[in-house]
Chain A
Amino acid sequence: MPNNSTSFATQLQKAQHHAMQNDPGMICMGLGIDDPKAIFGTTSGLQTAFGQSRVFDMPTAENAMTGIGVGAAIAGTRVLMTHQRVDFFLLAMDQLVNNAAKWHYMFNGQMSVPLTIRLIVGRGWGQGPTHQQSLQSWFSHIPGLKVVVPGLTDNAGQLLYDAIMDNNPTIFLEHRWLHNQIASEDECQPLTEQPRHTRILREGEDYTIISNSYMLSEALQAQKYMQQFGIQCEVIEIASPTNIDWHVLYQSVKKSRRCIVTDMGHTFCSLASEIANRIYSECFQSLLCPVTTLGLPHYPEPTSYGLTPDYYPNINSFIQTISGNCGVDIARITTTQHHDIPGEWFKGPF
């Protein structure tokens, strides 16, 4: 580990500190925001730095508290809310969809809602049916919402800072398995610069992989592995489903003529299927094989370790698809690591 290493969680924490400094009216609220675990370390030191009136724990009332955030934001307070699991936030869909998303439009541009909601996606260790949903497709379906789904440490802080400072309601979906992801501080994008939401991370001629969130880690590993066999994958990050540079995607697919789109959620009616549909429309003549969507099957995640080894796509899902469509026989990777944890550092329970 290099001396100047940093983590995904640290970058998020820095972004919040910086935003609170730059907007003296801004508030942060969330269940457990100031507790000893500080939301996986992402809110450490915030309350000490900015006081209890600006950084505060809240009642277990997701719906009204979201509405209170919306109401304060409409009045002119910049608001950041954090929920430790997406699934609990579903109680607040009325406030998000009927009020936050539509407010600026419905009142003809007279008011805006500078509100960011951090939602953390769980996975593995028996998180089961109601602690791991990744609903980027749901949120992206609603006009007026911005959705940001970070996948890498180098721009996680920048993406969060930008979301907070944006004057629109923004859902910031963090995957739990990314919090410990390490990068060098030198690689991290300056917080206050405008982020690029669509980024080509690896260039390649043979296959386009469009990905975000934790699946981006699997995609990058697959890219590296396939390189050994002479197959060059182009990996594109789409950090915001509501702000995709479509031209970059089309240009890549027209070049590579093959494409995988990943999704952390169920692929049925998903962001992945929407992207695949657009690629079929725009790149139909170029495609050598069908676009593959890699995501979850259409049933809830069972809790049991024994029932879930194949629930999430992994590096082998990429290897299988790519080798099949390129007409080469490439061995899968065998691993002894448990499928329900991101690494040996993870010991549960939560």
Chain B
Amino acid sequence: MPDLKEVYFQTLRIRKIEEAIAERYSEQKMRCPTHLSIGQELVPVAISQYLTTRDKAYSSHRAHAHYLAKGGDLSKLIAELHGKSGGCTAGRGGSMHLSDLDCGFIASTAIVGNSIPLATGNALHQQLSQSDGITISYFGDGATEEGAFYESLNFATVRSLPILYACENNQYSVYSPLSVRQPASRSIAKLAAEIGVKSFSVDGNDPQRVLEASQAAIEFIRKERKPALVEYFTYRHREHCGPNFDDELNYREAHEVEEWLANDPLKNLQKLLSSDSDFSHFQARVSEQITQEIEAAFNFASSSPFGDPIDNERYIYAK
């Protein structure tokens, strides 16, 4: 089991980064659609405990936590949100198209479900090139309604590919609840199991359970060279896209929101660590460290220039 303090640190770091983005979003300098990961940070932090840079990750529109947990550069993320040349795609992709090849975060894409085949193709490449790495494909519950999800799992099973399908089930596709999208009896984990993918289902906000399930799935993939899926039940605290809370719209029951806010992964980690006599000191220290790191990243973004539109025709084709 990884050091829980490290898991706490990583989770807190992503939370504070996302909150800093939310706080400054109204300044209108980050001019692109932004889907915050607040409430869902634990899943990628836990998964990333068991990965190296030889393992590659793909994600979807809500990608900040996946990028950061894998080791994606913070300054390049913040500069990207600002559309600056120092951003991870120099302002071409924005929040929904992140990449940091140095750490093995290949890319996130904006169209629901369409990075699942790409990740599966990456796993095919790993198999063909006899790499010992595995691939992580992050997506949400909405993506499991896309044909690409079924088609990819089917092929990964037929071909026995080393890939983890990490489904963060936050139960809403924008404002549409699962109840209007999938039958009440549906379990995404069971669906995947029926396709032939080794599957796990877990409370995505419970640190120990999330670590255990992620470890079990990844060890299975590494050992058997076969696909696995983990369905992590979790919850986004804020609106689908943007910096605000939107509970005044009443699309989620008040008691449901309260229950999930009480089951916040960060709070759960704090509870687990509260008996540690050193924890409050640790908390204060890393919190300050993260604040400074965020400040530096925003300063980098601010000082980074916009690219020159004269280069807009570069890279239409590869050489």
Contact = CB atoms under 8 A, between A and B. Distances in A.
Interface stretch (A62-70, A195-203, A207-215, A308-316): A62-70
A64 B151 contact: yes
A191 interface: no
Interface stretch (A107-115, A131-139, A319-327): A107-115
B54 to A, nearest CB: 12
Chain B interface residue number, banded: 35 or more
A72 B125 contact: yes
A112 B125 CA distance: 14
Contacts of A3: none
Given A67-B148, A72-B125, A73-B121, A110 B99 contact: yes
A108 B119 CA distance: 20
Given A76-B129, A77-B129, A70 B117 contact: yes
Contact of B118 (A58, A71, A106): A71
A65 B93 CA distance: 24
A107 B121 CA distance: 18
B170 interface: no
B315 A59 contact: no
B129 A68 contact: no
Nearest to B111: A98
Contact of A98 (B109, B125, B317): B109
B181 to A, nearest CB: 19
Contacts of B58: 71
Given A74-B118, A143-B316, A168-B318, A67 B152 contact: yes
Given A104-B318, A109-B314, A71 B92 contact: no
Contacts of A47: none
Interface in A169-193: none
A292 interface: no
Interface in B103-126: 106-107, 109-111, 114, 116-122, 124-126
Contacts of B114: 67, 94-95, 98-99
B124 A68 contact: yes
B109 A75 contact: no
20 contacts: A25-B129, A61-B155, A64-B117, A64-B151, A65-B155, A67-B148, A71-B58, A71-B122, A72-B122, A74-B122, A75-B56, A75-B121, A75-B122, A75-B125, A77-B129, A94-B114, A104-B316, A105-B92, A108-B92, A167-B319
Interface of A: 25, 27, 53-54, 58-59, 61, 63-77, 94-95, 98-99, 104-113, 143-144, 146, 167-168
